[in-house]
Amino acid sequence: MSLFEVKDRMDALVQELKQHNYNYYVLAMPSISDYDFDQKLKELEALEKAHPEFLDPDSPTQKVGGEITKSFKTIVHKWPMMSLGNTYNEQDLIDFDERIRKAIGDDFEYVCELKFDGLSMSLTYENGKLLRAVTRGDGTKGDEVTANIKTIRTIPTQVKGENMPAHFEIRGEVLMHKAAFEKLNNERIENGDIPYANPRNFASGTVKMQDSSEVAKRPLDCFLYFLYSDENPFKTHWESLQAVKSWGFKVSEESKLCLNIQEVLAFIAEWEEKRFKLSYDIDGIVLKVNSYAQQQELGFTAKSPRWAISYKYKAQEVETILEKVTYQVGRTGAVTPVANLKPVLLAGTTVKRATLHNANEIERLDLHELDTVLVEKGGEIIPKIIKVNLDKRLPGARKIEYIQNCPECRTELIRKEGEAVHYCPNDEACPPQIVGRIQHFISRKAMNIEGIGAETVETFYQKGLLKHISDIYQLKNKEEELKQLERFGEKSIQNLLEGIEKSKKMPFEKVLFGLGIRYVGETVAKKLAQHFKTIDNIIKADFEQLIAAEEIGERIAQSIIEYFAKEEHQQEIEKLKGFGLTFEIEEKEVILASEKLSGKTFLISGVFEKFSREELKEMIEANGGKMMSGISAKLNYLVAGDNIGPSKLEKAQKLQIPIISDDDLLNLLK
Closest CA to 375 of 341, 409, 411: 341
- Full DSSP string of 470-512: GGGGGGGGGHHHHHTSTT--HHHHHHHHHHHHHHTTS-HHHHH
Strands laid side by side in the 119-126 sheet: 129-135, 119-126, 167-176, 220-228
* Amino acid occupying residue 32: I
Sign of CA dihedral 410, 411, 412, 417: negative
Say how far residue 151 (Cα) sits from the centre of its chain. Answer: 13
Given 63, 115, 150, 256, the catalytic residue: 115
Q: Specify whether the CB–CB gap between 497 and 476 falls below 8 A.
A: yes
Quick check: helix, strand or coil at residue 226? Answer: strand
Strands laid side by side in the 637-640 sheet: 626-627, 601-605, 637-640, 659-660
251: Cβ contacts below 8 Å, ≥ 6 apart: 223, 224, 225, 241, 244, 245
Q: Specify whether the CB–CB gap between 358 and 415 falls below 8 A.
A: no
Beta-strand pair 256-258/334-346: unpaired
Assess whether 115 carries a catalytic annotation: yes
Phi, psi at residue 282, to the nearest 5°? -125, 150
605: Cβ contacts below 8 Å, ≥ 6 apart: 548, 638, 639, 640, 641, 644, 645, 648
d(C-alpha 580, C-alpha 241), whole Å: 58
d(C-alpha 465, C-alpha 474), whole Å: 9
| Enclosing H/E stretch for 638 | strand 637-640
Kindly report the number of other CB atoms within 10 A of residue 242's CB atom: 12
Quick check: helix, strand or coil at residue 158? Answer: strand
| Enclosing H/E stretch for 545 | helix 543-547
Beta-strand pair 601-605/637-640: parallel
CA distances from 81 to 116, 134, 185, 226, 532 (A): 16, 10, 30, 11, 46
Q: Which residues belong to the active site?
A: 115
